Structure 1
Amino acid sequence: MTVIVWSGGSLRASDEPIITATDHGLTVGDGVFETITIRDGRPFALTRHLARLRYSAARIGLAEPAEDAIRAGVEAVMEAGKGSLTRLRVTVTSGPGPMSSARGDGAQTVVITGGQAARPRVCHAVRAPWHRNERSPLSGVKSTSYGENAVMAGYARERGADEALVANTHGNLCEGTATNVFVECDDEILTPPLASGCLPGITRGLALEWAADAGLPIRVAAPGELTMGVLDAAIDGRAFLAVTSSTRGVQHVASLDGRDLAAGPLLRRLSTLFELNAERNPDPAPRRPS
């Protein structure tokens, strides 16, 4: 697999050392990132991803990343990839720091990588036995402190699944390890609110906007409205599930805890609508988050 790397203003060899041993992105996970899918040869929703990168950086107290430099890096990686890339990752860390949690005062580390990764074709999910802390300072932040998600993803893989769905500390449905969740029940589509602790997903936001524009019955659930009990309703056939992410789009959850699930008719319409709109508008302008 070819990996294109950009950092420090120029392209680098894929095996060239870039991160120092004292970089806080490595030692304490002090950084933020974005994963961007490539559709029809273009980074999809790049403007929204960079807006969320700024948001995440501000939430953890990092200086605003240099957007012009990042866009130049993205362009350089795309050009070097010569149409072969399917995914980009932009990572920004606080840079080298002391051997403690306190940050240093040096320059940020910015790395952009591009490579090929197969788009997941279907989602098989399990319920995670852990909870997302909606009161955490990292709640809703696309942080490089990804250890929790790595543990939950491993839990899912051990059970033949590729995603784990997690509750927050109140026992309400929150999100997946790398996805947002949509539920179809009682002839409408709901998704957990940001107050649940879920990430403000780019695909989540676009799905909400485009579905509302098209007149689909969709809304953000009230806090506490979607308990984890809705997953039992999905297994019983009284509800339907989909997950969303930059790499998955809007994707049917085909099984939960080893039980096959039917696809919801409204969620199928939402998936089709999303794909059509994404094809028509590869860089939709940001709106007010939901």
Structure 2
Amino acid sequence: MGQIVVWADGRLRDPAEPVLTAVDHGVTVGDGVFETCGVVHGTAFALTRHLARLVRSARGLGLEDPDLDLVRSGVEAVLAAGTDLGRLRITLTAGLGPLGSGRTPGRQSVLVVAGPATAPAPARVVRVPWTRNERSAVAGLKTTSYAENVVALARAVAGGADEALLANTVGDLCEGTGSNVFVERSGELVTPPLSSGCLAGITRELVLEWSADAGLPVREAAHGELGYAVLDEVDAGRAHLAITGSVRTIVPVVALDGREIEPGPLTVRACETYAWRAAQQLDP
């Protein structure tokens, strides 16, 4: 599994050491939020943007703002203690709570964990029958309630893929279990709007910004522009796909439902642009 470094309650811990109570609300009902950063040259990539989203997710869930100075100290401690790290995760939960959904005010639990990661590689994806609820109370928030993603990703892996793509409840293309999706067609690279219920991915955000700076036709779709049926166009070779994530960065999709597909030329250019910009600035 490689080295795992754990920081909790203000200090480094042995990875096998228990650090949460059995009645932590993040454990009992998934009452928490998190962020995952890629680690590049010993630095948490785009940490400032990730911490800003951590605050937005906490507020959306009704949690108090996290102590970002405390979080940063945990990040620094973990990165200083580890070697060959590729992924860093920050988790914030509501802390001690009842067994039910009600929340007890008190000290939050803050964990910072880092470990190895595989290098970015072209993705193989599948369609799955489940949907994102774009009207959910937690739509667009990065919460620790990840069970539906676990189920969908297991379906993908069972089908020889490494990601699953989901529609939302009105039949629009939304996102993957841990990624945003871009569709290349008609000379543009387009990603579903946040109104679809997808997460406001940090890599998605940077791809949009950096591609615009480079003069590439990459944009957010209009509401309802990208139906889930656009994947039929991909299957027929009339469109192409890319997915983005904080550890995988931006990569082309080379298989859909077990069928090999070609990366699009604009996708390749967007990947090259992202790699070049990311190498220039670790906290954009």
TM-score range, shorter chain: over 0.9
CA offset digits 1:189-232 (Å, max 9, x no partner): 11000000000000000000000111101111011100011111
Post-superposition offset of 1:15:
1.1
2:149 alignment partner in structure 1: 149
Is residue 94 of structure 2 the alignment partner of residue 100 of structure 1? no
Shift of 1:135: 0.3
- Residue 96 (structure 1) shift: 0.9
- The 1-side partners of 2:151 and 2:120 are apart by 20
Aligned residues: 283
Q: What's the secondary structure of 2:184's corresponding residue?
A: strand
Aligned to 1:64: 65
Once the 2 structures are TM-superposed, how far is the Cα of residue 60 of structure 1 from its aligned partner? 0.5
Matches within 5 A, 1:239-278: 239-278=239-278
1:238 aligns with 2:238: yes
Structure 1 residues not aligned, in runs of 5+: 285-290
Aligned residue number for residue 90 of structure 1: 90
Partner residue in 2 for 1:287: none
Instruction: Report if the CA contact (8 A) 2:242-2:252 is conserved.
Output: yes
SS in 2 for 1:17: coil
Report SS of the residue matched to 2:91.
strand
Distance 2:97 2:195 in 1: 32
- CA distance in structure 1 between the partners assigned to 2:98 and 2:163 by the alignment: 36
Q: Which AA in structure 2 matches 1:87?
A: R
Shift in Å at residue 235 of structure 1?
1.1
Pair 1:207-2:199 in alignment: no
In structure 2, distance between residues paired with 1:84 and 1:157? 26
Q: Identity of aligned pairs, percent?
A: 54
1:151-230 matches, cutoff 5 A: 151-230=151-230
Q: CA deviation at 1:40?
A: 2.0
Q: Shift in Å at residue 119 of structure 1?
A: 2.7
Find the residue that maps to 1:35 and give its secondary structure: strand
Q: Which amino acid aligns with 2:17?
A: E
Please report the TM-score for the alignment, with normalisation by the length of structure 1.
0.96
- Whichever residue aligns with residue 237 of structure 1, its letter is G
1:36 partner letter: C
Q: Report the AA paired with residue 62 of structure 1.
A: L
Which runs of 5 or more residues in structure 2 are unaligned? none
Instruction: Output the CA distance in 2 between the equivalents of 1:212 and 1:181.
Output: 17
Q: Which runs of 4+ in 1 moved over 3 A?
A: none
- Distance (whole Å) between structure 2 residues aligned to residue 269 and residue 122 of structure 1: 14
Match of residue 74 from structure 1: 75
- Letter matched to residue 73 of structure 1: G
